[in-house]
Amino acid sequence: MFYYKQKESNTNVSKTANSRADITLDSTLLPPTTGSVIGVALNNKQLAASLETAFNEKPHVQPPKTPVLHIKTDNTHIGYGHSIKVPNDKGAVFAGPSLGIVIGKKATRVPAENALDFVQGFTIVNEVSLAETSFYRPAVKAKCRDTFCPIGPWTVDKSLIETPNQLAIKTLINGSIVHETSTDQLIYPVEEIVSYISSFITLEEGDVIIAGTPQRNAELEIKPGDSVTIEIEEIGSLTNPVEQE
């Protein structure tokens, strides 16, 4: 089952389809959920390895003991085909390919063993960000600009995903593959992320967790005029044009 939301004569309609071929990919699509969107930063083995020295220096002093969380506010959420708006005076802007974990029912203090019982399925998130020079203070300026969080095009029911912790993720800019990673690069896998967050944040149906983004190097930079696609095995492709704010 595929769950999605679409704009029809100015109302937002929730829909389902048995096959992704039954869903027309266009900019009438909205993010498939309307809940909170919480991201896990630094949850990538290669990225964490590259920061090992910085983690042990000031101001961080020691590596993170728990998953590092951030919030993508509602103004950032856009659907398939909607434009990511890039400011002209804030430096480089980067795509952030990630698996999105969609919560299916209220989850408070869920053990990792049962975590998937509280998950409806999976979606694709492009967690767009300005460059981050430090991870010491909350990344509101870097991550919470309008349109900086495309989500979609749909949520795939979890029954259709063999294991969420082994999905290939490709980023394409203007049709060319620029970056490849996999959810096997997550330091904390899907079940542990849901369990950890629910240990102090009650997750609600429709909330989305951004499982983890890779290091933002030059190949992930997006510019006005580009079209950026995040493609995740067994889920689909999320494409958004990029324009000047």
Partner 1 sequence: MKSARILFNNDTLNVTVNDQDQVVTAEGKVLEEGTFTWLPPCEGKMFVLAINYADHAAELSFKAPEEPLVFLKNKNSLIGHDQQTFRPDNVDYMHYECELVVVIGKEAKNVSQEDAMDYVGGYTVGNDYAIRDYLENYYRPNLRVKSRDTCTPIGPYLVDAKDVKDPHNLMLRTYINGELKQEGNTKDLVFNIPHLIAYLSDIMTLTPGDMIFTGTPEGLADVKPGDVVVTEVEGVGVLKNTIISETDYLNTLNQ
Binding site for partner 1 (CB under 8 A): 36, 38, 41-42, 59-62, 64-66, 68-71, 73-76, 108-109, 135-141, 144-146, 200-204
Nearest distance from C-beta of residue 186 to partner 1, angstroms: 17
Contacts of 51 (CB under 8 A, 6+ apart): 42, 135
Nearest distance from C-beta of residue 72 to partner 1, angstroms: 9
Nearest distance from C-beta of residue 76 to partner 1, angstroms: 8
Beta-bridged to residue 70, according to DSSP, are 39
Nearest distance from C-beta of residue 15 to partner 1, angstroms: 26
Nearest distance from C-beta of residue 205 to partner 1, angstroms: 13
> Cβ closer to partner 1: 19 or 137?
137
How many residues does this entry show for the chain? 245
Q: Are 211 and 101 in contact (CB under 8 A)?
A: yes
Q: Compute the CA torsion angle 132, 68, 56, 145 (nearest 10 deg).
A: 10
Quick one: which of 59, 196, 84 has its CA closest to 150? 84
3-state percent breakdown (helix, strand, coil) of the chain, nearest 5: 20, 40, 45
> Cβ closer to partner 1: 74 or 219?
74
> Cβ closer to partner 1: 187 or 201?
201
> Cβ closer to partner 1: 174 or 202?
202
Nearest distance from C-beta of residue 62 to partner 1, angstroms: 8
> Cβ closer to partner 1: 70 or 179?
70
Strand ranges in the chain using DSSP code E only, listed in sequence order: 2-8, 11-17, 29-30, 37-41, 68-72, 77-78, 84-86, 93-94, 97-103, 119-126, 129-130, 149-157, 168-173, 176-182, 208-210, 221-222, 227-232, 236-244
